[in-house]
Chain A
């Protein structure tokens, strides 16, 4: 009987914790969107953050996109060769990258690399009272810390996604032309013929949503960090896990929405 009682109590505590978290996240998101359109706009800081997030992520995004494109081409070649349809490998790689893998993989890389760093930085500021210091100097912490990162993530992730799409298609091209002996002309034609504006547009819409998710989660977790190194570590781990889950969940919802409504 006691075990059942304890179990129900634990479940209740978890439920209250979840509601409290979602409520706090909602209030935080509202404040962020308020400050996005109220001065000061901190243009210098946006560029500084965009360099950290965008430019510094180029090497890893390049590697992952290139290998993804190559693997896609190789894996699809197994089946395509059986039905003499190798030329469609180019279309498969292009559409997969532009619609799905480019936005999602890039977002996951940025969430793991930059989202974690943002949480760690803001979390450390929280536990060392730097955020309190900002408030005592009449500076809103969300305006100072979150909004530059928001704009930087939005711009950087969109550009990185376009870049990842191109590199992914390049990876597929390398495998398709040099390994699978598809002609250059055929590969390029079959890459761009099936691609529509809506494919590119929908992929970039996903990037925008993913950027918002990464920014909100990583900054919120940082602001909630508890005392000490352990607290900052927990917040960083939680930020990455929640960002990953939210990216995949948003991707699922957006894909379904675009399929049923946005075609």
Chain B
């Protein structure tokens, strides 16, 4: 389980997270929605310990990751896989070296075992015969899928997705959504995705939480969110320019 308690984070004078509370149950896919720049990615980075809060706590299976450093932090991070918005593949490494990175760093496996696992992961994301290519030779959609293969290679318990469908065409986006759903069903992982793409959110989520003004203002199943009476949530999910959320806010 992931439990965020009273998380606060400022960048200079800009308040991003303001006493944020959130609970993510094991085995569920939770999607965090919100406007661009509202702090969704900042929240995700706190969950995996890339950022330290100004105050508050983030518990991962009972361990407060905000207080950890060094080996202890790395031990918790081994439970995670993360798909970054731009995939964040290592430019100097080939596709198979990217996917196998975690195994090559932390597990003393034979090369044939590593290659078998790489082929399996690439197969799960619908890629083949790309092992020797460099990231620069891949399309945007292929890079996302290789990033996803890398995220699952070490059999994580928790997968984080940062804007998984941003920057790719709608057809590829739906393919990524389907992959996320299939991986969740096959691997039985806890998933946390941040997005402002409502089609993606409805497709992959067990629970949707809305981040607004540094806090979670609503949380529920996709049906509950679709039928919400909260004017802020309604304005966002329907994509309306007029409402309590102003363009400057």
Q: Which residues of A contact B (CB under 8 A)?
A: 121, 124-125, 128-130, 132-133, 135-139
A-binding segment of B12-20, B23-31, B84-92, B228-236: B84-92
Is A124 touching B84 in the complex (CB atoms < 8 A)? no
CB of B48 within 8 A of CB of A136, answer yes
Give residues of chain B (112-145) contacting chain A, Cβ–Cβ below 8 Å: none
CA distance A81 to B59 in the complex (A): 80
B88 touches A137 (CB 8 A): no
**Nearest neighbor of B86 in chain A, beta-carbon distance:** A128
The 8 Å CB contact of A133, one of B49, B90, B92, is B90
Q: Name the residue on A nearest B84 (C-beta).
A: A129
- Measured between beta carbons, the chain A residues less than 8 angstroms from B86 are 128-129
Q: Chain A residues near B240 (CB, 8 Å)?
A: none
Among A124, A129, A135, A138, contact of B91 (Cβ-Cβ < 8 Å): A124
A129 to B85, CA, bound (A): 9
Stretch binding the partner chain, chosen from B99-107, B175-183, B194-202? B99-107
In the docked arrangement, what's the CA distance between A24 and B158, Å?
33
Listed A/B pairs (12) with beta-carbon separation below 8 Å: A128-B86, A130-B89, A133-B84, A133-B89, A135-B49, A135-B50, A136-B50, A137-B154, A138-B74, A138-B78, A138-B105, A139-B105
List B residues 1-56 near A (Cβ within 8 Å): 45, 48-50
Q: Are B90 and A138 in contact (CB under 8 A)?
A: no
For chain B, what secondary structure do more than half of its interface residues adopt (helix, strand, loop), or is it mixed? loop
Hey, which chain A residues are within 8 Å of B105, CB to CB? 137-139
CB neighbours of B74 from chain A (8 A): 138
Which residue on A lies nearest to B75, using beta carbons?
A138
**14 other A-B residue contacts (CB within 8 Å) besides A128-B86, A137-B105:** A128-B91, A129-B85, A129-B88, A130-B88, A130-B89, A132-B84, A132-B88, A135-B50, A136-B80, A137-B101, A137-B154, A138-B78, A138-B105, A139-B105
The distance in angstroms between the C-alpha atoms of A132 and B90, with both chains bound, is: 11
Of B50, B88, B101, which is within 8 A of A128 by CB?
B88
Contact (Cβ within 8 A) A137 B102? yes
> How close is A41's CB to chain B, nearest CB, in angstroms?
13
Alpha-carbon distance between A137 and B80 when the two chains are bound, in angstroms: 8
Q: Is B82 an interface residue (CB 8 A)?
A: yes
In the complex, whether B188 has a CB less than 8 A from a CB of chain A is no
Contact (Cβ within 8 A) B82 A138: no
Give CA–CA (A130, B143) in the complex, Å: 13
Complex Cα spacing A128 to B87, Å: 9
Q: How far is the CA of A132 from the CA of B47 in the complex (A)?
A: 13
Q: Do residues A132 and B45 form an inter-chain contact, with CB atoms below 8 A?
A: yes
Report the separation of the CA atoms of residues A121 and B93 in the bound assembly, to the nearest whole angstrom: 13
B217 to chain A, nearest CB (A): 28
Q: Mark B65-97, 1 if CB is under 8 A from A, else 0.
A: 000000000110110101011101111100000
Closest 8 CB pairs of A and B: A138-B74, A133-B88, A129-B88, A138-B77, A136-B82, A129-B84, A137-B102, A130-B88
Which of B50, B91, B106 contacts A130 (CB under 8 A)?
B91
Q: Determine whether the beta carbon of A133 is less than 8 Å from that of B82.
A: yes
Alpha-carbon separation in the docked complex, A86 to B151 (Å): 70
Closest chain B residue to A135 by CB distance?
A: B50
Q: How far is the CA of A133 from the CA of B50 in the complex (A)?
A: 10
A129 to B78, CA, bound (A): 18
Residue ID in chain B nearest A129 by CB atoms: B88
Residue among B49, B50, B78 with most chain A CB within 10 A: B50
Q: With the chains together, A133 CA to B102 CA distance in Å?
A: 11
Contact of B77 among A124, A128, A136 (CB under 8 A): A136
Closest-CB distance, A43 to chain B (whole angstroms)? 14
How many angstroms between the C-alpha atoms of A124 and B89 in the bound complex? 12
Which residues from A are CB-within-8-Å of B91?
Answer: 124-125, 128, 130
Which residues does chain B contribute within 8 Å of A137, judged by CB atoms?
77, 101-102, 105, 154
Task: Kindly provide the distance from the CB of B161 to the nearest chain A CB, expressed in whole angstroms.
Answer: 12
Residues on the B chain within 8 Å of A138, using CB: 74-75, 77-78, 102, 105-106
A residues in contact with B88, CB < 8 Å: 128-130, 132-133
Are B85 and A135 within 8 A (Cβ)?
no
B232 to chain A, nearest CB (A): 29
CA–CA, A138 to B101, complex, Å? 11
Contacts of A132 in B (CB 8 A): 45, 50, 84, 88
Bound CA–CA A128/B84 (angstroms): 9
Closest-by-CB residue of A relative to B78 is A138
Residues of B within 8 A of A129 (CB): 84-86, 88
